[in-house]
Amino acid sequence: MNDRLRIALYQPDIAGNTGTILRFAACLGLDVDIVEPAGFPISDRSLKRAGMDYLEMARLSRHVDWQAFEDWRRSEARRLVLLSTKAATAYTDFAFAAGDILLFGRESAGVPDSVHEAVDARLTIPMQPGARSINVALSVAMAAGEAIRQLR
Ligand SMILES: C[S@@+](CC[C@H](N)C(=O)[O-])C[C@H]1O[C@@H](n2cnc3c(N)ncnc32)[C@H](O)[C@@H]1O
């Protein structure tokens, strides 16, 4: 196993967000996992528009479903760290480690309870009272930015 940070997207359903995240990850040297099914084909025009030519640089692994992703992750002995609006620990209070996978939920529904329970840690980005959630690509940038800051 290499010690790069990874970004995992659970069944993403907005192609433009995934393209933005793939561009971000390519620029920063992060690997990306997509846990399928996604709500769009990987050839989607919005994904290509947001990811631009950075898609060619992106290190993307696709997993056919959650079980396939989990089997692979356990074989690599990587920690899985979920970013969730329902977590109690602030992402800035967590000690990230090399090789961690930061997991983000789908835009429409986050992750199911079974996934919430399967992870090693659950973190939140504190928001103002009444705010529901941050765009998933922005939450990737915030959490990955903090992990990179700690591990630099
Ligand atoms: C648009 S949000 C999902 C909203 C969904 N209705 C829910 O209740 O989870 C998409 C993903 O972005 C991440 N996210 C958004 N805001 C967040 C926050 N304040 N803290 C941590 N993660 C957040 C989470 O991974 C979330 O599953």
Does 84 carry a binding-site annotation?
Answer: no
Structural domain total, the chain: 1
**From CA 54, how far away is CA 58, in angstroms rounded?**
6
Q: What pLDDT, on the 0 to 100 scale, is given for residue 22? A: 97
Q: What pLDDT, on the 0 to 100 scale, is given for residue 63? A: 98
Is the residue at 58 inside a domain? yes
Residues with CB under 6 A from ligand 1: 83-85, 104-105, 107, 109-110, 124-125, 127, 133-134, 136, 139
Q: Are 78 and 5 in contact (CB under 8 A)?
A: no
pTM to 2 decimal places: 0.97
Is the residue at 41 inside a domain? yes
Is the residue at 51 inside a domain? yes
* CATH number of the domain to which 33 belongs: 3.40.1280.10
Query: ipTM of this model?
Result: 0.97
Atom 7 in ligand 1: residue holding the nearest Cα:
110
| Cα-to-centroid distance, 138 and ligand 1 (Å) | 10
Is the residue at 1 inside a domain? no
DSSP assignment, residue 130? T
pLDDT over 90 at 2, yes or no: no
